[in-house]
Chain A
């Protein structure tokens, strides 16, 4: 830690040093494609948000019209309300389950290596897989999930076909898909806890809960805050699983801002309008990130 801190100070250039011109060259190889293909289109998108544009012809300046339209569009409101719900379901589930799974795998149980593989594996598959496998699992009449729920006397739940459940259905698949990242972050942090501290706590007669509460949890605090932030940002941008599982329906009940942006841009070719909604989403992500950092007083 101290070595790292030292080099950070060093790198900040507290001590006057020569300018390494070669640094620019080394950075350029990455920075040029990054600015060309990742930043420029975004800047253009920001400009388009203030115009009316359907690709053919040049964008026509319209000032804030797209924004006022977005504020009056009930489907925009629904999409933004939905991501807050997604956030409320997915973020706590991913954080709590990820932590529990990591605590389990961190113990020296037989087969814990296998468990680690299984918990992380979903993260590496593509959205297409989610779209097919989970739509099939959550099928109302022939899906596996409803089949096993019926053993508990639970009636068939229309996971993806009703306005009441579709958001929950998509969330379940999302938790399965996203959990690996949180799990690995927690696991790495747990493995960083020096064994002696835990051993000392055992010797002191601390029980499992006390050890978790007073030894492990304080150590994990920064990681928890990071997991929550990362998962929240990724949930605010939820798209692929929505697109492949429900396409936002029924009645927009599982849509998300990015899904709505996609359908306005690609399906309706209203690029100015789509970009304006994207800016609203960006503002929301920014606000939430700052609010969270302020509340948790953590440097992420």
Chain B
């Protein structure tokens, strides 16, 4: 292990050296900058921000940026936002950093940026935070912890902006139709299945309306497995990030649980292409998803409420995703402070973002505001996403090959391996062996 750390250390150093050279070379190029226009005397500083938020939450974020620009009209700082598709976001950031033309800050996901931290594409923020006077004590401890990378000096690489979890959204028309009590949504596995069975519609043996919204492949069954497995006592990686697949039996049990939804209980169909659209058009009754869907469904007047994720296993947990802002490596390090000031303003003023936008606020002072519950969408649909943060703990594994561990993914190693199980091509045991082998190799790599 010690050899590995040393190796990592040296390679990081080399990279740093190279980056500096690359940066210097880029600075020599007189060619116009890719967007970043450096501040010259008298001109306002333009801070370049990249975002991949594209759905309805993207519009609220655009309002946040507009508000910032309005408030800083006369203060010589403006933010220029550019929307980059999520799938190519990291590639584009890497390309921009490698050529010394990175945006100043952008959106990141807690735990997903280990590779970026290793290569110093994102910069450690602890010192800048202190200098800018951002009050770290006002953030929830878990949100700060999730922004750190234990393998990289345990430094903070992201300022948390919102906290998200998966919670079940329930179609109220279907609840009424089945004669269930919407005020008492299912809290455990048995009740959940009861509800699902009561709301499922079948044509003979075929499910035509899923009690539990599922897809035959992609994100939904993968993330469901991830949550249920952790609830049953499975762990993707031990706390010290050394051993993969703690308690594999629980993981297998969870695979069976997901399979049973399709084949034994027959409360879900695999034949759904687009789960968001399917739930929006009433093809499913219970759909665990994230707060980013709220504005869309409320906008289309879907009758639904959100409940807390039921406790199916022994541990009450659900998926966690932390959204936040990260700063990218600049050749002109003088820009960091101005950027951090802007990020501080956005965090301090994130009331709009965490009420009307998406997710729960990581800031205690915002959560405590009396109007926090009454602003934005109704508490019926939004509340579970705020209260449910207490037990949302299944997040990313902060290692370089972290993408292989992500449970909220439609096409990564994990999703593809599990898809073999859902389609009956791979046995549960074989899948677990494959997962264990791959993940152990990933952890060993660091």
List A residues at the B interface (Cβ < 8 Å): 54-58, 75, 135, 139-141, 156, 158, 160-164, 247-253, 263, 265-269
Contact = CB atoms under 8 A, between A and B. Distances in A.
B424 to A, nearest CB: 8
Given A57-B15, A158-B270, A253-B423, 19 more contacts: A56-B19, A56-B97, A56-B121, A57-B18, A57-B98, A135-B273, A158-B216, A161-B270, A162-B216, A163-B217, A163-B419, A163-B425, A248-B411, A249-B419, A250-B423, A251-B417, A251-B423, A252-B419, A269-B94
Contacts of A139: 273
Interface in B350-404: 403
Interface stretch (B85-93, B144-152, B223-231, B311-319): B85-93
B410 A247 contact: yes
Contacts of B420: 163, 251
A249 B416 contact: yes
A250 B15 contact: no
Interface in B254-304: 270-273, 283
Given A141-B283, A269-B90, A250 B218 contact: yes
B271 A249 contact: no
B14 interface: yes
22 contacts: A55-B95, A56-B15, A56-B121, A57-B14, A57-B18, A141-B208, A141-B271, A156-B271, A158-B270, A161-B217, A161-B271, A162-B270, A247-B411, A249-B217, A250-B217, A250-B218, A251-B217, A251-B417, A251-B419, A251-B422, A265-B91, A266-B87
Q: What 4 pairs across the A-B complex have the smallest Cβ distances?
A: A250-B217, A251-B419, A140-B271, A55-B94
A161 B98 CA distance: 39
B403 A268 contact: yes
Contact of B19 (A57, A75, A158, A160): A57
A57 B22 CA distance: 8
Interface string B54-71: 000000000000000000
B423 A267 contact: no
A160 B119 CA distance: 38
Nearest to A268: B403
Which of under 10, 10 to 19, 20 to 34, or 35 or more describes the interface residues of B? 35 or more
A42 B87 CA distance: 23
Contacts, number: 96
B312 to A, nearest CB: 24
Interface in B395-446: 403, 410-411, 415-417, 419-420, 422-423, 425
A250 B19 contact: no
Interface in B210-263: 215-218
B273 A160 contact: yes
Contacts of A249: 217-218, 410-411, 415-416, 419
Interface string B82-113: 00000110110011011000000000000000
Among B87, B216, B273, B423, chain A packs the most CB atoms within 10 A around the CB of B273
Contacts of B425: 163, 251
A141 B206 CA distance: 12
Nearest to A164: B423
A121 B87 CA distance: 31
A267 to B, nearest CB: 6
Nearest to B209: A141
Nearest to A155: B206
B434 to A, nearest CB: 8
B341 interface: no
B36 interface: no
Nearest to A60: B11
Given A55-B94, A56-B121, A268-B403, A252 B416 contact: yes
B15 A267 contact: no
A158, A160, A251, A265: which has the most chain B beta carbons within 10 Å? A251
Contact of A56 (B119, B273, B417): B119
Contacts of B18: 57-58
A158 B416 contact: no
Given A141-B271, A161-B272, A162-B216, A56 B94 contact: yes
Contacts of B97: 55-56
A139 B272 CA distance: 8
B95 A161 contact: no
Contacts of A158: 216, 270-271
Q: Could you say which of A57, A141, A249 has the most chain B C-beta atoms within 10 Å of its C-beta? A: A57
A103 to B, nearest CB: 37
A49 B422 CA distance: 34
Given A141-B283, A266-B87, A163 B423 contact: yes
Contacts of A250: 216-218, 419, 422-423
A266 B88 CA distance: 6
A132 to B, nearest CB: 12
Interface in B12-36: 14-15, 18-19
A190 B24 CA distance: 63
A160 B272 CA distance: 9
Nearest to B426: A251
B218 A269 contact: no
**Centre residue among B19, B94, B270, B423 by max chain A CB count within 10 A:** B423
A255 to B, nearest CB: 9
Nearest to B208: A141
Contacts of B88: 266
Nearest to A160: B273
A27 B60 CA distance: 53
A58 B208 CA distance: 54
B216 A161 contact: yes
A287 to B, nearest CB: 28
B423 A162 contact: yes
B122 to A, nearest CB: 11
Contacts of A163: 217, 419-420, 423, 425
B431 to A, nearest CB: 10
A193 B415 CA distance: 55
Contacts of B410: 247, 249
Nearest to B413: A75
A37 to B, nearest CB: 16
A54 B411 contact: no
